[in-house]
Chains A and B, each alone.
Chain A
């Protein structure tokens, strides 16, 4: 067998360049790394940069550093015998290694050792990747109209790190004017360009640096209507759970067919089958999408688990976490919605397509949705704010359509301390602030930046 099979020319060149160090890596570490770069065409540029830096760093380790870093894992592999496993390709070998460790109950020890390696390795790789000034980033998390917001507990988990700022919504009490004022700085009728478009026009940021993820498609529609007027070209990388419905249905049918015909013995086999499933989306794609984005959607919906195929807000949360982690965008706007209640009986067959007479009318769960999105927005902040490109460089804004306050989590503690929360600000003020923060000043909008958030 050749565990190096299946690499694209770019990935193969990278491997050949670092062949000397790769040969010395513990087998489990090597296999897992190769699995990652086998997906080279599906990787975002930030991920490719990461692997280039990782391989450079591995090659730069002195023998003593290498031994200190990988010695314990090599000893573990020798002791358990997992280094002697063989298989027809890297993917199968990875599965067999994992099952072998699980059977021996040594999988937690293995994970601990891998974790210890990355504790030492990551700072070195990050130093290579982010040695100069990091750019400011912005994450905007929006609760859509319909979620049953409990104002007393709104954003409760983030109160310790954020500041509530009162909003003067004016006429922007409902979804359409709210979103337009927030992301264009003008009323809907103006059809003004969105913040995404300004980042393209003024900063020249590629679409992979501008992300829009939502349960519905109101923001997608606004981008299509407003930004196409400005100039051709996509506003952002866009994921709409609603627009992906035909694709989700196709996936569900494929899974249901496989499961109901007895084609899989359990979740592990199902997961292995899904890995091989050629099910890239061609339905419901909108705004910008390339091979990496298409595969990203497939991974989120098919392989991600965590309910992304079933529950709209799980899709938005997991997509956001993964987009921030993998593509490292400068701007991410995530908009949550109201999820449906799980239906009696038929909801137990989650992937089935009941015939029309069995379809119980969908009912929404506004209260449950609020509980869900409160934790989901917290998780997005928690997971991204700890990563180096975001730490101390990211402004988080949380808003709820029709609610006259927002929560701002400034990039620095000093900014938080200096915030004056007594004055109401408008949504165009927020738009101006976001634009200024991202380096697009003096936009023709009717608002003024909130200066304290910009420090």
Chain B
């Protein structure tokens, strides 16, 4: 269950807090009626504004997206979204050009030098921690929904005074999918992968068995799936399986999860990481472009959902940015990798949309990934001190 006792009690005795948490969990799971639980969840002052950071998380080159030859790959951005917002055509990733450190820079405002495979949390506090601590918010107000399955520790640093108690909930939908498929194919019994209905049940059951079981180690952040959250995930999974158009995309599942979490909890701060395009590492340019196009569509769908939701419409600012670029053709292995640190690997773009953002605007001023976090802090009205990034002054926040 979402841990409101913990989030409100940063000065509590830890042992007492643990006991209370257990009691609260027990009561909530077994005695409290659903409605009462829902009301309890809203027994705090919900922030007015919302911020969503959506990433082209696998890394997309400027030439494959915002350069004229890349426009055909991002039709929704170029035709639907850019006219509604403020475009920075030059956003520079000056940090380590791996996925984890790049996204960690976005949510901390500091360049991060930690293990690229996600075995360590960011070294400085995340936006989620600053936000929740200062505003005394429960965990359901801050979320990371990531296709990249190494993002398990993206929700919080382990800086003294911050850390898990103020972390974002982290959901890794693709991990869930992989786990279920693993179960489905690992035995001669069971549903297999062709029987969609049975397979969906298999996926749902994996929620009970722990969804961090397969493959790469997924590092637990101290937050566990609550009953409420599990219901949300089940709903999103069923939606996912009932949509015949999207049978195999981790990013589509991430979108479904994000939408369901927005519908149920309307969190104020979210990082949504799309990652399918990282299939580029397999050397197929067409599959990489398909991943970009899918993210373009999902970002558009996400923005449309924002516009139709009373909890989000008119109060949401969304940032869209590639986590990183990829190598230029002349260096390394071109689009396949992002390890050269060349300009193609570092130069991407940023689009800001929604509240406080001028429409049909652009700024040639180069900005950096670490500038996102201080800007988000200003929009949501909390302090995030000592960041390497600077707020984007073009936004009227």
A259 close to B284 (CB less than 8 A): no
Query: A402-413: contact bitstring with B at CB < 8 Å (1 yes, 0 no)?
Result: 000000000000
A311 close to B329 (CB less than 8 A): no
Interchain CB contact (< 8 A) of A103 among B113, B184, B217, B289: B113
B113 close to A266 (CB less than 8 A): no
A108 close to B284 (CB less than 8 A): no
Q: Within the assembled complex, what's the spacing in Å between the Cα atoms of A39 and B281?
A: 26
Query: A69-108: contact bitstring with B at CB < 8 Å (1 yes, 0 no)?
Result: 0000000000000000000000000000000001111011
Q: How many residues of A contact B (CB 8 A)?
A: 52
Q: Which residues in A have their C-beta under 8 angstroms from that of B182? A: 260, 349, 352
Chain A CB within 8 A of B116 CB? yes
Q: Which residues in A have their C-beta under 8 angstroms from that of B185? A: 346, 349, 352, 354-355, 358
Q: Within the assembled complex, what's the spacing in Å between the Cα atoms of A344 and B329?
A: 30
Query: B90-115: contact bitstring with A at CB < 8 Å (1 yes, 0 no)?
Result: 00000110000000000000010100
B284 close to A307 (CB less than 8 A): yes
Chain B CB within 8 A of A47 CB? no
Q: Within the assembled complex, what's the spacing in Å between the Cα atoms of A146 and B214?
A: 37
Chain A CB within 8 A of B285 CB? yes
A105 close to B96 (CB less than 8 A): yes
Closest Cβ of chain B: how far from A421's Cβ, in Å?
27
Q: Within the assembled complex, what's the spacing in Å between the Cα atoms of A317 and B336?
A: 12
Chain B CB within 8 A of A135 CB? no
A265 close to B282 (CB less than 8 A): no
Q: Which residues in B have their C-beta under 8 angstroms from that of A360? A: 193-194
Give the interface centre of B174, B287, B334 by most chain A CB atoms within 10 Å: B287
Q: Which residues in A have their C-beta under 8 angstroms from that of B217? A: 262, 265-266
Chain A at the B interface: mostly helix, strand, loop or mixed? helix
B 222-247 contacts with A by CB, 8 A: 247
Give the interface centre of B186, B193, B199, B216 by most chain A CB atoms within 10 Å: B193
Chain A CB within 8 A of B117 CB? yes
Q: Which residues in B have their C-beta under 8 angstroms from that of A379? A: 329, 333-334
Q: Within the assembled complex, what's the spacing in Å between the Cα atoms of A317 and B119?
A: 33
Chain B CB within 8 A of A376 CB? yes
B119 close to A266 (CB less than 8 A): yes
Chain A CB within 8 A of B215 CB? yes
Chain A CB within 8 A of B341 CB? yes
Q: Which residues in B have their C-beta under 8 angstroms from that of A375? A: 285, 334-335
Interchain CB contact (< 8 A) of B117 among A262, A266, A317, A344: A266
Chain A CB within 8 A of B177 CB? yes
Chain B CB within 8 A of A215 CB? no
Chain A CB within 8 A of B150 CB? yes
A311 close to B282 (CB less than 8 A): yes
Chain A CB within 8 A of B330 CB? yes
A355 close to B117 (CB less than 8 A): no
Query: A299-333: contact bitstring with B at CB < 8 Å (1 yes, 0 no)?
Result: 00000011110110110011000000000000000
Q: Within the assembled complex, what's the spacing in Å between the Cα atoms of A360 and B96?
A: 39
Interchain CB contact (< 8 A) of B336 among A306, A369, A382: A306
Chain B CB within 8 A of A440 CB? no
A314 close to B282 (CB less than 8 A): yes
Which B residue's beta carbon lies closest to that of A353? B185
Closest Cβ of chain B: how far from A46's Cβ, in Å?
21
Closest Cβ of chain A: how far from B92's Cβ, in Å?
14
Closest Cβ of chain A: how far from B296's Cβ, in Å?
17
Q: Which residues in A have their C-beta under 8 angstroms from that of B192? A: 354-355, 357-358
Q: Which residues in A have their C-beta under 8 angstroms from that of B150? A: 266
Chain A CB within 8 A of B286 CB? yes
A345 close to B113 (CB less than 8 A): no
Q: Which residues in A have their C-beta under 8 angstroms from that of B336? A: 306-307
B 281-304 contacts with A by CB, 8 A: 281-287, 289-290
Chain B CB within 8 A of A424 CB? no
Closest Cβ of chain B: how far from A147's Cβ, in Å?
12
B177 close to A348 (CB less than 8 A): yes
B329 close to A354 (CB less than 8 A): no
Chain A CB within 8 A of B181 CB? yes
Q: Which residues in A have their C-beta under 8 angstroms from that of B283? A: 306-308, 311, 313-314, 317-318, 372, 376
Q: Which residues in B have their C-beta under 8 angstroms from that of A343? A: 248
Chain B CB within 8 A of A347 CB? yes
Q: Which residues in B have their C-beta under 8 angstroms from that of A233? A: none
B 277-328 contacts with A by CB, 8 A: 281-287, 289-290
Given A260-B182, A378-B329, do A355 and B188 touch, yes or no (CB 8 Å)? Answer: yes
Closest Cβ of chain A: how far from B187's Cβ, in Å?
9
Q: Within the assembled complex, what's the spacing in Å between the Cα atoms of A266 and B214?
A: 11
Which B residue's beta carbon lies closest to that of A264? B216
A 354-388 contacts with B by CB, 8 A: 354-355, 357-358, 360, 365, 367-369, 371-372, 374-376, 378-379, 382
Given A345-B248, A346-B181, A346-B185, do A371 and B286 touch, yes or no (CB 8 Å)? Answer: yes
Closest Cβ of chain A: how far from B2's Cβ, in Å?
30
Interchain CB contact (< 8 A) of B281 among A102, A306, A354, A357: A306
Given A260-B186, A266-B150, A306-B336, do A382 and B181 touch, yes or no (CB 8 Å)? Answer: no
Which B residue's beta carbon lies closest to that of A270? B216
A 136-157 contacts with B by CB, 8 A: none
Chain A CB within 8 A of B178 CB? yes
Q: Within the assembled complex, what's the spacing in Å between the Cα atoms of A382 and B329?
A: 8
Chain B CB within 8 A of A111 CB? yes
Interchain CB contact (< 8 A) of B194 among A267, A317, A357: A357
A307 close to B282 (CB less than 8 A): yes
Q: Within the assembled complex, what's the spacing in Å between the Cα atoms of A331 and B285?
A: 27
- A105-B95, A111-B341, A372-B284 known; 12 new pairs, CB 8 Å cut-off, are A105-B96, A108-B96, A306-B333, A314-B282, A345-B181, A348-B177, A348-B250, A354-B193, A368-B290, A369-B286, A374-B285, A375-B334
Question: Can you spell out 16 A-B residue pairs with CB atoms less than 8 angstroms apart?
Answer: A105-B95, A266-B117, A267-B117, A306-B282, A311-B283, A317-B283, A344-B248, A346-B181, A349-B181, A349-B182, A352-B185, A355-B185, A371-B289, A372-B286, A374-B285, A375-B335
Q: Enumerate the 5 nearest inter-chain pairs by beta-carbon distance, A residue then B residue, closest first.
A: A307-B282, A314-B283, A368-B286, A371-B286, A344-B247
